[in-house]
């Protein structure tokens, strides 16, 4: 693991076509993403990548499905969907996603938690596992949670409204005493516009009956693993471009953009 802070925090952002991303394999420290957060916020809820194509690039990840049809969580190479009706189902390989990110989890740095961590302290513990408490990383937490506050979103129909307008339709749950796996990412501002900046976590319960986008969680005991991400390959649907890097002038994060 590199210890030069600039290297740790750097993120190579690479724009890809559907064809070029299909030819990419999977590798540790490399994440593959369908479309951008900016496009999702703008109401672009139909994508071109299938779940099978996504899973070719990694075994852990998150996102949503076409039509903004629930929350997608990928654990150990299995894709699960959390519906707004509370149902949790396996996602078929032919399903399409408008926004998702995956990576292959390898030999991760980890920490055992036995003392209980409320949400804010859990996020701090995640960051403490990273060099300089910064960087872009994939996260996996397995454990018993005292509390998980999660949400999902009902399927939308065209003409699509912007994501901010859909917020009123979202459904929230609070679960107590749940054994679960939480999977997600932490991205620096270098990924702004492409990814959610900060921590973005989704949950899947051990009994596969609860899942969703995590709004907050308190870990009673378990394990936390993180692994740095230093490359993010973004499949850009036609007409879409990576956000202009000039917006990030003055940011200490190293941002490299290449386009195919």
Residues that bind Zn ion (CB under 5 A): 213
Q: Which is nearer to Zn ion, 8 or 122 (CB)?
A: 122
Q: Which is nearer to Zn ion, 10 or 152 (CB)?
A: 152
CB of 171 to Zn ion, least distance (A): 14
Q: Which is nearer to Zn ion, 186 or 213 (CB)?
A: 213
Q: CB nearest Zn ion: which residue?
A: 213
Residue 55 and residue 51: Cα distance in Å, rounded?
Answer: 6
CB of 100 to Zn ion, least distance (A): 10
Residue 62 and residue 52: Cα distance in Å, rounded?
Answer: 14
Residue 213 and residue 217: Cα distance in Å, rounded?
Answer: 11
- Report the C-alpha dihedral over residues 192, 193, 198, 199, rounded to 10 degrees: -150
Residue 87 and residue 85: Cα distance in Å, rounded?
Answer: 6
CB of 6 to Zn ion, least distance (A): 29
Residue 126 and residue 198: Cα distance in Å, rounded?
Answer: 11
Q: Which is nearer to Zn ion, 10 or 187 (CB)?
A: 187
CB of 247 to Zn ion, least distance (A): 23
Residues in the chain: 260
């Amino acid at each position: 693991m590199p210890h030069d802070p600039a290297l740790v925090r750097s993120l190579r952002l690479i724009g890809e076509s559907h064809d070029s991303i299909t030819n990419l394999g999977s590798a540790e420290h490399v994440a593959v993403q369908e479309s951008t957060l900016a496009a999702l916020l703008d109401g672009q809820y139909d994508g071109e990548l299938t779940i099978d194509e996504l899973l070719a690039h990694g075994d852990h990840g998150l996102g949503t499905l076409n039509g903004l049809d629930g929350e997608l969580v990928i654990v150990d190479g299995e894709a699960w969907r959390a519906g707004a009706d509370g149902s949790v189902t396996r996602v078929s390989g032919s399903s399409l996603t408008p926004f998702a990110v995956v990576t292959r989890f390898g030999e991760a740095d980890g920490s055992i938690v036995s003392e209980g961590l409320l949400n804010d302290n859990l996020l701090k513990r995640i960051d403490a596992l990273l060099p300089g408490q910064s960087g872009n990383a994939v996260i996996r937490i397995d454990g018993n949670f005292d509390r998980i506050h999660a949400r999902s979103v009902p399927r939308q129909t065209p003409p699509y409204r912007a994501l901010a307008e859909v917020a009123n339709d979202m459904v929230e749950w609070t679960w107590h005493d749940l054994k679960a796996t939480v999977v997600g990412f932490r991205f620096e501002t270098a990924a702004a516009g492409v990814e959610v900046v900060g921590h973005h976590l989704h949950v899947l319960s051990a009994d596969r009956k609860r899942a969703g986008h995590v709004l907050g969680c308190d870990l009673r005991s378990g394990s936390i693993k993180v692994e740095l991400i230093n490359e993010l390959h973004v499949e850009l649907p036609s007409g879409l471009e990576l956000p202009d890097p000039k917006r990030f002038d003055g940011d200490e994060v190293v941002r490299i953009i290449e386009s195919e």
